[in-house]
Amino acid sequence: MLFKLFFIFFKLGFFSFGGGYTMIPLIEQELQNNGIQITAEILSSVVAIAGICPGPVGVNLAIGFGYSLAGILGVLFAALGVTLPSLIVVVLVVAIFDKIYHSQNFKAALAGLKPAVVGITLYAAIKFGIKNNIIFVSGENIVKSNWNFEFLKYFFNVPSILIIVVSYVILKRTKVHPIALVLVGGVAGTIIF
């Protein structure tokens, strides 16, 4: 298990452009491909904790999944796996940066990477919402309450959607730090749910 964790996160460390949140669907897929099952509850808990803890989200995710799957040694192997590629790539890029920075191919590659990262991040957000019974929830998985509404045979959790919308609007229109929104979301969840 420890070496599987190392190699899974080592591979992800090389291909997780766009930050930690883009790693979520990749982590899920890699764990499944390696015969490691992770529950939706563990996934959502690790993602939530990784988002509110200091440090890079990708490293926090590796630490959370490492601990969930293999304890303290899992933390060491997963964290080393996810950080080692960054170290290797940064050293190589610094060594050749002046040569590639002005290259038209490099600029074209970056132009293609940016929208792909946005797409992966959007996919991760929607999939996270579905797995956590916030959006597009089937009738048998929804917690029955007056706070849900049905549309086209799918259920939506109104308080969660309101928190999403309010968070987005606040981030778009103010300079409130995202950490403050995470904390307020936790308080709101404690009160509402």
Q: Rounded to whole angstroms, what are the CA distances from 33 to 147, 158, 178, 185?
A: 37, 34, 33, 33
pLDDT of residue 138: 67
pLDDT of residue 18: 63
Q: What's the pLDDT tens digit per position in 128-165? A: 777 777 777 766 656 555 677 777 777 777 888 888 88
Q: In this structure, how many other beta carbons lie within 10 angstroms of the beta carbon of residue 114?
A: 12
Residue 188 has pLDDT above 60, yes or no: yes
Q: What's the pLDDT tens digit per position in 27-79? A: 888 888 888 888 888 888 888 888 878 888 889 999 999 999 999 999 999 99
Spans of all domains in the chain: 1-131, 133-193
